[in-house]
Amino acid sequence: MSAASTWTIAAVRDALKSKEISARELTRDFFARIENRNRQLNAYLALSLERAYAQADRVDAMIAKGEALPPLAGVPIAIKDVISTRGVTTTCGSKILETYVPPYEATAVERLERAGAVILGKTNCDEFAMGSSNENSAYGPVRNPVSLDHVPGGSSGGSAAAVAAGLAVAALGTDTGGSIRQPGACCGVPGMMPTYGRVSRYGLIAFASSLDRIGPLTQNVTDAATVMSVIAGHDPSDSTSAAVPVPNYAADLEKPVQGLRIGVPEDYFGEGLDSEVREKVLAGIALLEKMGCRRMPLKMPHTDYAIATYYIVATAEASSNLARYDGVRYGLRIPGATVGEMYRNTRERGFGPEVKRRIMLGTYMLSAGYYDAYYLRAQKVRSLIARDFADAFQKVDAIITPTAPTPAFRLGEKTADPLQMYLADIYTVTGSLAGVPGISVPCGKTKCGLPIGMQVFAPHFGESRVLEIARAFEKASTATP
């Protein structure tokens, strides 16, 4: 078990049960890996050593007593720094929350620890989860472990990089418009976005409340299913949490995919798609066909409006959610001669340029005279995009698309052009607006060795179908020379 990439959830469980290693030793090994590699990657912003070792000791005590182990016993897991952790700094990648320590725990984190997970620390991210490259963090960019001069994707780039580099067995990220799936594709690991409402948002510091979701980034699809089984389910603390039964995702993984109808929307394969990405995704679809899936062409006519719609809805909600950071109640405070001056000083110093840009855009969208022309119209188009998905799922069981239009780009390549950066989410924001579940699964590499991701969508609460197809593809592609 010397290679970091061999540590999957199943491998950890087997090693602990056979007493090949203790949970404390495994935790110490992961902290040593982080110390050795994190200066290079900048994936972690804070470590929770005391908390991690205390949990590891609890797991070791269970093993010594011969007790049955919970599903994530001893598994080292990282948490994106927009998810609240009691007693551990949670900055959202922003100077305005540089010293903020939450007094409460996010439900998803609480459920992980109840299942035995060892929380290693908090991972770097774009400020308030606003970005597609992890270059917007106030604490510096994360580097892609596959190629250090490339971005890891965003905004969950720290979580994706930590998993890809073997600095965590799994990690929680958040997905508003693609921020789990796109970094998963860039770093070559599976990244899962559940149905909106499937995983509690309690403790998730809000960017866009009608879009934000928590989900896992893992070493393989089986691990994604295991983590999803732990964190999913109704939570009375979250009014948007759905009271829908949670199946055993891992038990459903090995179902045959033969006969499933997979929709391939031509709207996702047009101009702007990198040729190598197109080639690998189409090869992935062909492999699914060989496994007995039936390919069906689709038209999703409102896809072209998705980016504009998303950035109107998301920035409007961000403008509202970020109004609370004013220097009065918590976080950074820069004094001024008046209360108004204190507000301005605090927000000017505390927020980075991308967050300011989105607040200004969102405030404009919601202002008198523009609300109907922009925000209300965007919500109507959002309904049309959701209808595209609903209509498609009347004909097919799942939809297959590229995850991103290009592989990971170079650090600094798109920072001067926000529109080009926003277009990195062109294939992911559609599912976000529709509220459906999706996963990015690795489907090959470019000639330069950069990972490429293939995206699978299913109907609302169809996580089992998404995982089933992703797992079947993962097994088949691993077996294919």
- Coil vs helix vs strand at 34: helix
Taking the C-alpha atoms of residue 316 and residue 320, their distance in angstroms, rounded to an integer, is 7
CB 170 within 8 A of CB 412: no
Question: Is the pLDDT confidence value at 5 over 60?
Answer: no
DSSP letter, residue 72: T
Written as six digits, the tokens of 288 are 């699914």
Q: What is the pLDDT of residues 166-214, one digit of tens each?
A: 999 999 999 999 999 999 999 999 999 999 999 999 999 999 999 999 9
Q: Is the pTM of this model over 0.75?
A: yes
CA-derived radius of gyration, the chain: 21
* Percentage above 90 pLDDT, the chain: 95
The pLDDT value given to residue 330: 84
The answer to whether residue 452 sits within a structural domain is: no
Question: Is the pLDDT confidence value at 481 over 60?
Answer: no
**233-245 mean pLDDT:** 97
Confidence category of residue 473, pLDDT binned at 50, 70, 90: very high
Question: Is the pLDDT confidence value at 425 over 70?
Answer: yes
How does DSSP assign 406-434, residue by residue? Answer: SSPPBTTSSTT-HHHHHGGGTTTHHHHHH
The answer to whether residue 121 sits within a structural domain is: yes
Residues with Cβ within 8 Å of residue 326, at least 6 apart in sequence: 343, 346, 347
Question: Is the pLDDT confidence value at 369 over 90?
Answer: no
Taking the C-alpha atoms of residue 188 and residue 145, their distance in angstroms, rounded to an integer, is 10
The answer to whether residue 304 sits within a structural domain is: no
The pLDDT value given to residue 3: 43
The pLDDT value given to residue 480: 57
CB 444 within 8 A of CB 283: yes
**219-240 mean pLDDT:** 98
Using alpha carbons, select from 189, 146, 144 the residue that is nearest to residue 43: 144
Using alpha carbons, select from 78, 59, 81, 55 the residue that is nearest to residue 68: 59
**44-67 mean pLDDT:** 98
DSSP letter, residue 311: H
DSSP letter, residue 195: P
The answer to whether residue 86 sits within a structural domain is: yes
Cβ neighbours, 10 Å, residue 200: 24
The pLDDT value given to residue 131: 96
Using alpha carbons, select from 120, 150, 131 the residue that is nearest to residue 29: 120
The answer to whether residue 106 sits within a structural domain is: yes
Total domain count, the chain: 1
Q: Which domain holds residue 227?
A: 9-252
Question: Is the pLDDT confidence value at 329 over 60?
Answer: yes
Question: Is the pLDDT confidence value at 28 over 50?
Answer: yes
The answer to whether residue 76 sits within a structural domain is: yes
CB 395 within 8 A of CB 296: yes
Classify strands 170-175 and 451-457 as parallel, antiparallel or unpaired: unpaired
CB 433 within 8 A of CB 299: no
Question: Is the pLDDT confidence value at 4 over 50?
Answer: no
Q: How far is CA 333 from CA 167, 348, 431, 447, in A?
A: 34, 11, 38, 49
DSSP letter, residue 168: -
**458-473 mean pLDDT:** 98
The CATH number of whichever domain residue 137 belongs to comes to 3.90.1300.10
Cβ neighbours, 10 Å, residue 15: 19
The answer to whether residue 150 sits within a structural domain is: yes
- CA-angle at 48, arms to 44 and 54, nearest 5°: 145
Mean pLDDT of all residues in the chain?
A: 96
Using alpha carbons, select from 308, 306, 293, 310 the residue that is nearest to residue 267: 306
Bridge partners of 306?
none
Taking the C-alpha atoms of residue 72 and residue 118, their distance in angstroms, rounded to an integer, is 8
Q: Which helix (H) or strand (E) holds 38?
A: helix 23-41
Count Cα atoms within 13 angstroms, Cβ side, for 5: 8
Question: Is the pLDDT confidence value at 2 over 60?
Answer: no
Q: Which amino acid is at 326?
A: D
> Quick one: how many helices (H) and strands (E) in the chain?
15, 11
Stretch among 2-16, 89-103, 249-263, 350-364 having the lowest mean pLDDT: 2-16
Written as six digits, the tokens of 93 are 């990648």
The answer to whether residue 407 sits within a structural domain is: no
Using alpha carbons, select from 143, 217, 211, 225 the residue that is nearest to residue 180: 217
Q: Which residues are catalytic?
A: 80, 155, 179
